[in-house]
A and B are shown apart, each in its own frame.
Chain A
Amino acid sequence: MALPVWRQLRTDLHPKGLEIVTVALDLEIDAARSWIERSGAEHPQLVDTAHKLDELLGIVNVPTALWVDEEGMIVRPPHTAAVERYDFSKLKAPEGLPDDLDAHIRDMLEQVKRIPRFDADHYVEALRDWVEHGASSRYALAPDEVVGGSAPRSRAVAEAAAEFDLGQYLHHAGNVEDARTHFRAAHRLQPENWTYKRNAWELVSPGIQGPTEFYDGDWLADIKAAGTENYYASPGF
């Protein structure tokens, strides 16, 4: 979980004029609460239970970040922001699992290890460069580049946002089963949106996001279908 890294970056860069806001894309506030309360962060820590950031900014996976300048203009549209240094090659399945679960988790870990990672040190260097040099930083984009670099929004993507909105509304109103109909529709309309999928899967298969009777896909099947190289979009620098 990247919260301690964001906290450290904020400590380093706040004196130089950077604020950080973290937003948990969690349907359930309580799923994010303990992480937030333990983080010790001094910056605003928000929760987006309706996934407004997906609809309004085009976010489809986490970790994702965007940079906004002093005038409220986006200078770097949403991009993969991996700031954690983590050795994924050391991941191991827990001991003592039943055979079928053990095989499923081993297969998941193999996929996790194949996901291309981006250089965390390079990301932090780019961020420092922008904080220091502002608009003259080569990492700050012009407004037309920001618009052109934001996610495409086809009719299907727009419909997926509306379906997820209905789903989250029904879910929070206590109509958990009826919500799934709309989550399924959002998954079908925008298969590349991992936040719509993983949030819904997590509710019915916590921790594993494995196959269930409720959804057509699951994390392992879907990442195999999509290809691990397509899981995180390149941050573009």
Chain B
Amino acid sequence: MILEQLEVTPPELERQTGWELKPEGLCKEDRCVPLPPGAATDGRLDATMVAERLGMPLVHDERHDVWALGPESGDHVLASAELPPIVLEDVDGRPFDLASFRGEKVLIAAWASW
């Protein structure tokens, strides 16, 4: 996820990465990572701390002063078989959540013009 400052609000972090702020720390699936005391008191999380605690890369473009917080590394890309929320757009810019299907089987096919 792109960050223009070195901080992130818990709802935005959850929307983009699936990590949810709970009393016990940041949680995803059945895993919780504790945070330092007072880490979220003003409604914002320090991005460097989040990256370090969750094992995420935080890369910087100095010229434009913008960061990207990457995914947590580990064994596999999928930590569970549940399709994560992935919101994409159609060619007219209308948002579409891939996880919005229920009750029918779905084949998601990636292709490219190149």
Q: Which of A's residues lie within 8 Å of B, judged by CB?
A: 1-3, 6, 17-26, 29, 31-33, 35-37, 44-48, 52-53, 55-59, 62-75, 77-78, 81, 127, 130-131, 134, 143-144, 146-148, 150-155, 157-159, 161-163, 165-166, 169-170, 173, 175, 178, 181-182, 185, 195, 198-199, 202, 209
| Cβ-defined partner of B90 (8 Å) among A6, A44, A75, A163 | A44
Contact, CB under 8 Å: A162 / B89 = no
Given contacts A20-B109, A56-B77, A143-B81, contact A165 B64 (CB under 8 A): no
Between-chain CB contacts (< 8 Å), 19 pairs? A17-B105, A18-B107, A19-B104, A21-B98, A29-B91, A44-B90, A52-B88, A64-B109, A67-B106, A130-B105, A131-B105, A147-B76, A150-B77, A154-B73, A155-B73, A158-B70, A161-B71, A162-B70, A178-B64
- By a CB distance below 8 angstroms, the chain A residues around B66 are 166, 169-170
- By a CB distance below 8 angstroms, the chain A residues around B107 are 18-21, 65-68, 127
Contact, CB under 8 Å: B86 / A52 = yes
B72 to chain A, nearest CB (A): 7
Contact, CB under 8 Å: A162 / B112 = no
B57, B59, B102, B110 pick with most chain A CB within 10 angstroms: B110
Find the A residue at minimum CB distance from B76: A150
B113 adjacent to chain A (CB < 8 Å): yes
Contact, CB under 8 Å: B106 / A20 = yes
- By a CB distance below 8 angstroms, the chain A residues around B103 are 70
Find the B residue at minimum CB distance from A66: B108
B99 adjacent to chain A (CB < 8 Å): yes
Tier of interface size on chain B: 35 or more
B11 to chain A, nearest CB (A): 18
- By a CB distance below 8 angstroms, the chain A residues around B86 are 52-53, 56-57
A62 to chain B, nearest CB (A): 5
A47 to chain B, nearest CB (A): 6
Contact pattern, B 1-45, Cβ under 8 Å of A = 1, otherwise 0: 110000000000000000000000000000000000000000000
- By a CB distance below 8 angstroms, the chain B residues around A75 are 81
Contact, CB under 8 Å: B110 / A23 = yes
A147 to B31, CA, bound (A): 16
- By a CB distance below 8 angstroms, the chain B residues around A74 are 78, 81-83
Contact, CB under 8 Å: B64 / A73 = no
A46 to B82, CA, bound (A): 20
Contact, CB under 8 Å: B106 / A18 = yes
Contact, CB under 8 Å: B57 / A162 = yes
A74 to chain B, nearest CB (A): 5
Contact, CB under 8 Å: B56 / A158 = yes
Contact, CB under 8 Å: B73 / A157 = yes
B63, B77, B86, B88 pick with most chain A CB within 10 angstroms: B77
Contact, CB under 8 Å: A158 / B106 = no
A148 to B105, CA, bound (A): 21
Find the A residue at minimum CB distance from B63: A178
Contact pattern, B 37-69, Cβ under 8 Å of A = 1, otherwise 0: 000000000000000000111110101101111
